[in-house]
Chain A
């Protein structure tokens, strides 16, 4: 079964609003990463949070990690139409030397002008 589940599957908001996406995973992890993908395009790395970190910021992005609940959230503040994309969380399992990423199902974000 998939490591990550994301919710909501789709989110529609207006420009200027905040968007929150959640990700849950099953196994213990080293890191959790968030990626953005415009329709059918490449995966853009947004942010990495380590398992011993609880919160991380990058510009308008805020990521939280709760390892006790095996969940993470991505908050995009003051959203823009250009933020329209699919957002994936990806985890790599703890205690493995080879850190393949296991992706969540993704959240499709639509930001309307």
Chain B
């Protein structure tokens, strides 16, 4: 079965550079979530989109922005990168916001290293 696809899998950037992470949800899934997991930490919710509209926002820095496109893929744009942005970034997808049964399936993650 198709899973969530994330690209790139690994990314190395310098401080103050920008990065773009991409997420392709499971086919027919209309909701995308982004999470950040620092070293030794649990995943923290950043932002989500439902039907191309932002549906919720967590602890996402103002330097980050995201969007969901007409084909439901999503991109997380990160500017003015800081050392503390080094983390695993996960995308998850699910079908149907507001349903009481909300399994979220995660992609393999993008490991971002900021030097």
Interface residues of A (CB under 8 A from B): 2, 4, 30-31, 33, 35, 40-45, 48, 50, 88, 90, 92, 96-106
- B80 interface residue, CB < 8 Å from A? no
- A100-B33, A100-B48, A101-B104 known; A43+B43 contact, CB < 8 A: yes
- Shortest C-beta distance, A72 to chain B (Å), equals 15
Contact A30 B106 (CB under 8 A): no
Inside 8 A of A31's CB, which chain B residues have their CB?
A: 100-102
| Separation of A106 and B98 alpha carbons in the complex (Å) | 26
Chain B interface category by residue count:
20 to 34
- B14 interface residue, CB < 8 Å from A? no
- A97-B97, A98-B48, A100-B56 known; A40+B88 contact, CB < 8 A: yes
- A40-B111, A98-B48, A101-B33 known; A45+B105 contact, CB < 8 A: yes
Beyond A31-B101, A42-B107, A101-B104, 14 additional contacts (C-beta under 8 Å) are A2-B42, A31-B102, A33-B104, A35-B106, A43-B92, A43-B106, A48-B103, A90-B104, A92-B102, A98-B48, A101-B33, A101-B45, A101-B92, A102-B45
